[in-house]
């Protein structure tokens, strides 16, 4: 039996910080409205960097921290819904510019669940025994896809990236997982759509911008996701309170605030940083993990048990229980 473990983590966000007050200068909104409904105070917004530029920072940082050569990396997965282009992928652009000459690379698209899906897949690649070392990144530059005239969505999102180095291990670190999807409810959270538009095709209705049925996705996050967490805990044979820290996708503080009661665990076990980043979709969980490692709240090799939960467009959602 082969195993995988995370051995390093890194995060990066563009240096430009845009506060709620800054947004109030360009659209009809205010700090009280945004922070009371979302918990967000500021977000990082890229000035001259694209998603691959953020990913390059993460790869370089992981290589520096681990002292591994670029040639020693077997694969790179980038989870993103704001790629530089559909082709080439953000992962291959990053791979080319960081000298990961022996790595295969591809993008994973599972919205705000992207990092959890990609980390799960990376673990399987290593557990197969075929690959020894990989990098999993969640990265977004949402600012380039937002409708800056739509105050209901433009205030919610931010840019940033986080990633982990995944390596072969001699003992089990990934204890349980449950990944889910429900395409029937997919229209509740949808971005710009693509449809045939050739001279030979019928005219399709399509949306040009992000659509979010807030109430419906909020109810989904509050009702369904804790059930997924409980099911994952049951698979691991672990009680909710035995988890040292929960690392939830940072969509909205009101969602996270409802979970401790549902799971009957202390609110302090839920790590939160959305105040400073907004919703960074696939990047939110690795940024959260990286900050927790940096602050000493978590450390690799400590034996602490964490539960990561992603949930978002698709709809997709899922949890991983990992022993650090």
Active site residues: 112, 249, 279
Which CB atom, from 62 or from 255, has the smaller least distance to ligand B82? 255
Q: Pick one of 7, 20, 38, 92: the residue that binds ligand B82 (CB under 6 A).
A: 38
Rg (the chain; Cα; Å):
19
Q: Which two tokens stand for residue 310?
A: 């992603």
Handedness of CA 45, 50, 51, 54 (dihedral sign): negative
Task: Name the residue with the smallest CB distance to ligand B82.
Answer: 214
Q: Decide if 312 contacts 111 (C-beta within 8 A).
A: yes
With CB under 6 A as the rule, give the number of residues binding ligand B82.
18
Q: Pick one of 156, 298, 307, 320: the residue that binds ligand B82 (CB under 6 A).
A: 156
Q: Using the rule CB under 6 A, is 312 a contact of ligand B82? A: yes
Q: Decide if 57 contacts 67 (C-beta within 8 A).
A: no
Measured distance CA(173)–CA(57) in Å, rounded = 26
Hey, how many other C-beta atoms are within 10 angstroms of the C-beta on 83?
21
- In what helix (H) or strand (E) does residue 291 lie, and over which residues does it extend? helix 284-295
- In what helix (H) or strand (E) does residue 18 lie, and over which residues does it extend? strand 17-19
Least distance in angstroms from the C-beta of 160 to ligand B82 = 14
Which residues have C-beta within 8 Å of that of residue 147, sequence separation ≥ 6? 153, 154, 209, 210
Q: Which two tokens stand for residue 227?
A: 């059930």
321, 187, 50, 26: CA torsion to nearest 10: -120
Least distance in angstroms from the C-beta of 77 to ligand B82 = 20
Q: Decide if 181 contacts 315 (C-beta within 8 A).
A: yes
Which CB atom, from 111 or from 119, has the smaller least distance to ligand B82? 111
Which CB atom, from 254 or from 323, has the smaller least distance to ligand B82? 254
Q: Pick one of 203, 215, 268, 303: the residue that binds ligand B82 (CB under 6 A).
A: 215
Q: Pick one of 33, 104, 106, 218: the residue that binds ligand B82 (CB under 6 A).
A: 218
Which CB atom, from 102 or from 191, has the smaller least distance to ligand B82? 191
Binding to ligand B82 (CB under 6 A) within 8-37 occurs at 37
Least distance in angstroms from the C-beta of 204 to ligand B82 = 26
Tokens 């700090």, residue located = 31
Q: Using the rule CB under 6 A, is 221 a contact of ligand B82? A: yes
Measured distance CA(153)–CA(214) in Å, rounded = 10
Least distance in angstroms from the C-beta of 83 to ligand B82 = 18
Task: Candidates 84-92, 95-103, 217-225, 267-275: pick the segment binding ligand B82 (CB under 6 A).
Answer: 217-225
Q: Using the rule CB under 6 A, is 50 a contact of ligand B82? A: no
Q: Decide if 84 contacts 50 (C-beta within 8 A).
A: yes
Binding to ligand B82 (CB under 6 A) within 249-308 occurs at 251-252, 254-255, 279
Q: Which residues contribute to the site for ligand B82 (CB under 6 A)?
A: 37-38, 112, 156, 189, 214-215, 217-218, 220-221, 251-252, 254-255, 279, 311-312
């Amino acid at each position: 039996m082969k195993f995988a473990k995370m051995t390093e983590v890194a995060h990066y966000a563009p240096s430009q910080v845009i506060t709620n007050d800054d947004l109030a200068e360009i659209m009809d909104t205010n700090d009280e409205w945004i922070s009371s409904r979302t918990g967000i105070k500021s977000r990082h917004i890229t000035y001259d960097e694209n998603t691959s530029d953020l990913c390059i920072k993460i790869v370089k940082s992981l290589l520096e921290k681990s002292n591994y050569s670029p040639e020693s990396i077997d694969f790179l997965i980038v989870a993103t819904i704001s790629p530089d282009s559909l082709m080439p992928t953000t992962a291959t652009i990053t791979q080319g510019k960081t000298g990961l000459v022996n790595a295969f690379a591809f993008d994973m698209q599972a919205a705000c669940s992207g990092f959890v899906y990609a980390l799960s897949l990376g673990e399987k690649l290593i557990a197969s025994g075929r690959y020894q070392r990989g990098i999993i990144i969640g990265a977004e530059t949402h600012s380039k896809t937002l409708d800056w005239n739509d105050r209901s969505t433009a205030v919610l999102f931010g840019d940033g990236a986080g990633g982990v180095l995944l390596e072969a291990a001699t003992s089990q670190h990934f204890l349980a997982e449950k990944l889910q999807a429900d395409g029937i409810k997919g229209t509740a959270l949808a971005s710009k759509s693509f449809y045939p538009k050739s001279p030979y095709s019928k005219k399709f209705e399509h949306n040009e911008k992000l659509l979010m049925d807030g109430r419906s996705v909020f109810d989904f996050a509050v009702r369904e996701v804790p059930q997924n967490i409980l099911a994952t805990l049951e698979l691991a044979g672990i009680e909710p309170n035995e988890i040292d820290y929960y690392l939830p996708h940072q969509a909205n503080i009101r969602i996270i605030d409802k979970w401790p009661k549902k799971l009957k665990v202390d609110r302090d076990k839920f790590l939160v940083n959305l105040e400073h980043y907004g919703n960074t979709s696939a990047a939110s969980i690795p940024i959260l993990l990286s900050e927790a490692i940096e602050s000493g709240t978590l450390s690799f090799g400590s034996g602490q048990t964490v539960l990561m939960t992603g949930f978002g467009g698709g709809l997709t959602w899922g949890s991983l229980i990992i022993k650090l």
